[in-house]
A and B are shown apart, each in its own frame.
Chain A
Amino acid sequence: MGAFFASLGNQLPGTLAQGLIWGVMALGLYLSFKILDFADLTVDSSFATGGGLCAILITKNVNPIIALCLSFCAGMLAGGITGLLNTKLKIPPILAGILTQLGLYSVNLHIMGGGFRDSKPNIPLLKFSEALIFTSPNANGAYTSDRTKTIIICALLCAALVAVMYWFFGTEIGNAIRATGNNEHMARAMSINTNSMKVLCLMLSNGLVALSGALFSQYQGYADVNMGRGAIVIGLASIIIGEVLLGRFRGFVMRCTSAIIGSIIYYLIIAIVITIGLSTDDLKLFSAVVVAIALAVPAMKKKKAKVAKAQSGKEA
C-alpha cells in the first residue's frame, strides 16, 4: 500500500502538468460541445496538427512561443473547414468533423514531413530540448523537462484563457455565438448570421485544441501523427467529470474552470489505474467506459427522480 502511494505521489506533478495541458483542449471542446452544441470530431486530428506543426517549427529553429501561436492558427483553419463543410455544404456536424479529421491525417503527415512531397509520422525533439518552453538546465547544464515550470506556465495560461473566454462571451459577438448554440431559430430572427457564428466558434475551438497539442508535443518532447487519437473522448470526459463534481457552482468562469479541473482529475484517475496495474494498451477502452458512464449519469439521475416521484405519488 505504501509503495502504491509512493509511486502515485511520484506521478502527481506529471499528472497535474498533463491535466493542465489537456485542460486547454477541454476548454476548446467546451466551446464546440457545450456553447455551440456541436459534436466536433475534428479535434482528434487538429490536436496532432498543432503538435506536429509546433514540432516541425521548433526543428527549424522557430521561437517556441511563435510556434505555439502558429499552431493555434493552424487549428483555426482546420476548424474553419469543418464549419464550412457544415454550414455551406450542409453536411451534418458529426460527418463534417469526421471528414476534416480524416483529411487532416494526411495533411498532418505532410506538415511533419515539412513539405508537400515529404511526410513523416513523428518528430523527436530530443536535440532541441534547449528551445522547449517546459525545460530548464540541470546541474550539468543539460536541458531536461521541468515539471514545476510546466505546471506554473500551464496554470497561468489556463487562467488567462478562461479570462479571455469570459470577456469574449460577454461581448456582442460572444452573445451571438451563445444564442446560435442555444436556439438557432431565435438567433436568425435576431438577425444573427448563424453560419458565420458556427464557423467562428469552431475555429476558436480547434485553435485551442491545436494549441493544446502544441503544448503537449513540447511537454513530451516529440510529436506523433496519432497523438490526438481519442482526444475528443478525453476532452468530453474532462468536461463531464468537471460538471458532475463541480456542477453546483454556477457562472461561466466556474464552468470553464471545472472543465480544466475535470481534465486534471481524469489524468489522476488514469495515473491511479496504471499504478494499480492496468496496461496502457487498455487505456482507450477504459477511457471510453469512463465517458460512457459519465454521459449516462444525467439520464440515470433523471430516471431515478422519475421513479422516486412515481413511488411517492403511489403512497399519497
Chain B
Amino acid sequence: MLEVSHITKIFNAGTVNEKVAINDLSITFNDGDFVTVIGGNGAGKSTLMNLIAGVYPIDTGSIALNGEELSRLPEFKRAKKLGRVFQDPMMGTAADMQIDENLALAYRRGKGRGLAWGVTKKEKELFREQLSRLGLGLEDRMTSKVGLLSGGQRQAITLLMATLQRPEMLLLDEHTAALDPVTAKKVLALSEELISEHSLTTMMVTHNMKDAIRHGNRLIMMNAGRIIFDVSGEAKQKLTVDDLMREFAKAGGDDIEDRALLS
C-alpha cells in the first residue's frame, strides 16, 4: 500500500518561473490496485511519479510504501522497492551493455553487489526463459548490445527488468508514448500480463484516454497538481472518453491536448 499524504512540490520557488507542480496532493494506492493516470500537459502526472521514485525531493508531506517512509530516502534506495519504466525507451536500459548484462543488473535490484560474477550461468538460463516469452527472438541474442535494439524491444526488456525482482510497486511513465501503435499495443499487453502475473500494485501514466479506460481497476485525472477525478470498480468500467472530457471541462481544466483527443 502506498500512502501519499499532503505532498507539495514547487519548482523554481521564489522566482518569476515559480511553478506549483504538485499542490497538497493525497492519495492511497491499495495493494493490487492498477491505477491509470491521465491529465493535460503540466498537470503533474510525471512529477507525481518522479516524486514517488525520488528523482527529486518533495517540499512537504509524506510518501509511505507499506508502512515505510520513502520521502527521505535517495532515489537508488527507493529503487529497491520500485520497478520503473520510462517514457523514453533509451532511458531504461544501458545501451553499451549486453542484453543479459542488463537483465543481470535488474536481477540484483534491491540486493547487495559484491565481487561475484555479474552474470552467472544459472541466471542466463532464467533470462533466456523470460526473454522467450516476449516473442521477439531476443533469447537467441542475449550477448547483443541493447543499443542495437529497436525502441519497442528496449521497452519490452525494460518492463521485464522492472519486474524481474518483484517490485512492491510498478511505475509506468507513459511507457508506450514513444512507440508506434502496433508496438505500443504489444508492450501494453505485456505490461498487463506481467502486472496480473505478479499481482503488482501499479501506477500507469498515459496520454491515451482509451488505454486509461481499458486498463486497470482505477483511474485518476490530474489538473494543476491536484487530483480532480478518482473513479474505480464498476463505475470505472462504464467510463467513456466523453465522460472523461466532461469531467475535465467540469473541473475547469486547461486544454486537453490534441494527442489525447485523437487517440
Q: Give the B-binding residues of A (Cβ under 8 A).
A: 168, 170-176, 178-179, 182-183, 185-194
- Nearest-neighbour CB distance to chain A for B32, whole angstroms, equals 23
Does B186 lie at the interface of the complex (its beta carbon under 8 Å from any beta carbon of A)? no
CB of B105 within 8 Å of the partner chain: yes
- Residues of B within 8 Å of A171, CB to CB, are 114-118
Q: Which residue of B lies closest to A173 (CB)?
A: B113
**Which of chain B's residues 54-112 have a Cβ closer than 8 Å to chain A?**
74-77, 79-80, 82, 84, 86, 90-97, 101, 104-106, 108-110
- Some 7 contacts from A to B, beta carbons below 8 A apart, are A172-B114, A172-B117, A178-B94, A183-B94, A185-B86, A187-B105, A190-B109
Cβ B101 vs Cβ A188 within 8 A:
no
State how many angstroms separate the Cβ of B145 from the closest Cβ of chain A: 10
Question: When the two chains form the complex, which single residue of B95, B105, B114 contacts A192, counting CB atoms closer than 8 Å?
Answer: B105
Q: Quick one: given A188-B75, A188-B79, A190-B106, are A173 and B115 in contact (CB under 8 Å)?
A: yes
A58–chain B nearest beta-carbon distance, Å: 32
In the bound complex, residues from chain A placing their C-beta under 8 Å from that of B108 are 172, 190-191
Closest residue of B by beta carbon distance from A34: B96
Q: Is the interface of B mostly helix, strand, loop or mixed?
A: loop
Chain B residues with a Cβ under 8 A of chain A? 53, 74-77, 79-80, 82, 84, 86, 90-97, 101, 104-106, 108-110, 113-119, 161-162
Name the residue of chain B whose CB is nearest to the CB of A180.
B94
Question: What chain B residues lie within 8 Å of A176 (beta carbons)?
Answer: 105, 113
Taking a contact as CB atoms closer than 8 A, the residue among B76, B114, B119 that contacts A188 in the complex is B76
A174–B118 CB distance below 8 A? yes
B91: chain A residues at CB < 8 Å are 183, 185-186
Option from B80, B90, B96, B104 in Cβ contact (under 8 Å) with A191: B80
Q: Is the CB of A175 within 8 A of B97?
A: yes
A186 to B94, CA, bound (A): 7
**CA distance in complex: A173, B115 (Å):** 6
B105's contact among A190, A193, A194, by CB below 8 Å, is which?
A190
**Complex: A312 Cα to B77 Cα, angstroms:** 52
B91 CB to closest chain A CB (Å) equals: 5
Residues of A within 8 A of B82 (CB): 189
Contact between A187 and B94 (Cβ–Cβ < 8 Å)? Answer: yes
A239 CB to nearest chain B CB (Å): 15
Q: Are B95 and A183 in contact (CB under 8 A)?
A: yes
Complex alpha-carbon distance, A137 and B243, angstroms: 93
Contacts of A182 in B (CB 8 A): 94-97
Distance between Cα atoms of A174 and B74 in the complex (Å): 22
Contact between A170 and B117 (Cβ–Cβ < 8 Å)? yes
A176-B119 Cα distance, complex, nearest whole Å: 12
- What is the CB-to-nearest-CB distance from A185 to chain B, in angstroms, rounded to a whole number? 5
The reply to whether B77 and A191 contact each other, CB–CB distance below 8 Å, is yes
CB closest chain-B residue, reference A182: B94
Other than A172-B115, A183-B93, give 20 A-B pairs with Cβ distance below 8 A. A170-B119, A171-B116, A172-B113, A172-B116, A176-B113, A178-B94, A178-B101, A179-B97, A179-B105, A182-B94, A183-B90, A185-B86, A185-B92, A186-B91, A190-B79, A190-B105, A190-B108, A191-B76, A192-B76, A193-B74
Taking a contact as CB atoms under 8 Å apart, the answer to whether B101 and A175 are in contact is yes
Decide: A175 and B115 in contact? CB cutoff 8 A.
no
Q: Which 5 A-B pairs have the closest CB atoms?
A: A175-B118, A172-B113, A182-B94, A191-B79, A188-B76
Query: Which residues on A sit within 8 Å (CB–CB) of B118?
Result: 170-172, 174-175
Residues of B within 8 A of A187 (CB): 76, 94, 105
Least distance between B110 CB and chain A CB atoms (Å): 5
A178 partner residues in chain B, CB cutoff 8 A: 94, 96-97, 101
CA distance A193 to B119 in the complex (A): 19
**Contact A179/B94 with A172-B113, A172-B116, A191-B109 known, Cβ cut-off 8 Å:** yes
How near does chain B come to A254, taking the closest CB pair, in angstroms? 15
Contact B115 A189 (CB under 8 A): no
CA distance A193 to B80 in the complex (A): 11
B101 to chain A: which residues have CB within 8 Å? 175, 178
Given A175-B101, A182-B97, A183-B95 in contact, is the A194-B76 Cβ separation under 8 Å? yes
A191: nearest chain-B partner, CB-CB? B79
Distance, CA A191 to CA B168, complexed state (A): 14
A175 contacts which of B80, B95, B105, B110 (Cβ < 8 Å)? B105
Name the contact of B114 in the complex, choosing from A173, A179, A193 (C-beta under 8 A).
A173
For B111, give the chain A residue with the smallest CB separation: A191
Contacts A171-B118, A175-B105, A183-B93: A189 and B84 contacting too (C-beta < 8 A)?
A: yes
Q: What residue of chain A has the Cβ atom nearest to residue B162's Cβ?
A: A189
Q: Is the CB of B113 within 8 A of A192?
A: yes
Best-buried of A168, A170, A186 by chain B (most CB within 10 Å): A186
Contact B104–A175 (Cβ < 8 Å):
yes
How far apart are A85's CB and chain B's nearest CB, in angstroms? 18
Q: B104 — which chain A residues lie within 8 A by C-beta?
A: 175
Alpha-carbon distance between A175 and B113 when the two chains are bound, in angstroms: 9
